[in-house]
Amino acid sequence: MPLYEVETPSGKLNGSTKVEIANEITSIHRRFTGAPEAFVNVVFREYGDGDCFVARKPASRSFLLGRIRHGRPLEVRQGMLRELKDMWVRITGQSEVDLLVSLSEVDPAMALEAGFFMPEPGQEKEWFEEHRDRLAQLGVTG
């Protein structure tokens, strides 16, 4: 947790662009939330011609959809959305008109990462301390 899903028309992004976007998403998420980068997941998917429609017409939109733990202030979430949008436009050159960026909030008690229920925002320090030994075995540091 978090999980960011990036969906684009087939062939829109090459491998190095995906790496750059994944790095930027991770940096943006960390900057706004303080979450460890080891838990920032980014998945890329492509869709084919005729698989995306907007207002009943075929379209070539891109989608950057994030699932994050609930409980952060509106200003934080909207700041993340703006920076994710700006990053996408800068890296891909795609107009913001053809981009949907969205954040959905998930109850941390309903998410397991590495076998652990996630902490509420603001309780990360205590959570890392409680699970320090097992997290270290997994190579995760706080």
pLDDT at res. 142: 61
pLDDT at res. 32: 96
Which letter, b or e, does each residue of 107-124 get, where b requires 16 or more Cβ atoms within 10 Å of its Cβ? ebeebebeebebbebeeb
pLDDT at res. 37: 84
The yes-or-no verdict on residue 1 having pLDDT over 90 is no
Least confidently predicted of 67-71, 97-101, 104-108, 133-137: 133-137
Average pLDDT over residues 133-140: 84
pLDDT at res. 28: 98
Average pLDDT over residues 135-140: 82
- Which tens digits make up the pLDDT trace of 73-103? 999 999 999 999 999 999 999 999 999 999 9
Two tokens at 11? 């062939």
User: Are 65 and 7 in contact, with CB atoms under 8 Å apart?
Assistant: yes
Fold of 3-111: Macrophage Migration Inhibitory Factor (3.30.429)
Mean pLDDT rounded to a whole number for the chain: 94
Question: 3-class DSSP state for residue 90?
Answer: helix
pLDDT at res. 80: 99
pLDDT band at 30 (very low <50, low <70, confident <90, very high): very high
The yes-or-no verdict on residue 114 having pLDDT over 90 is no
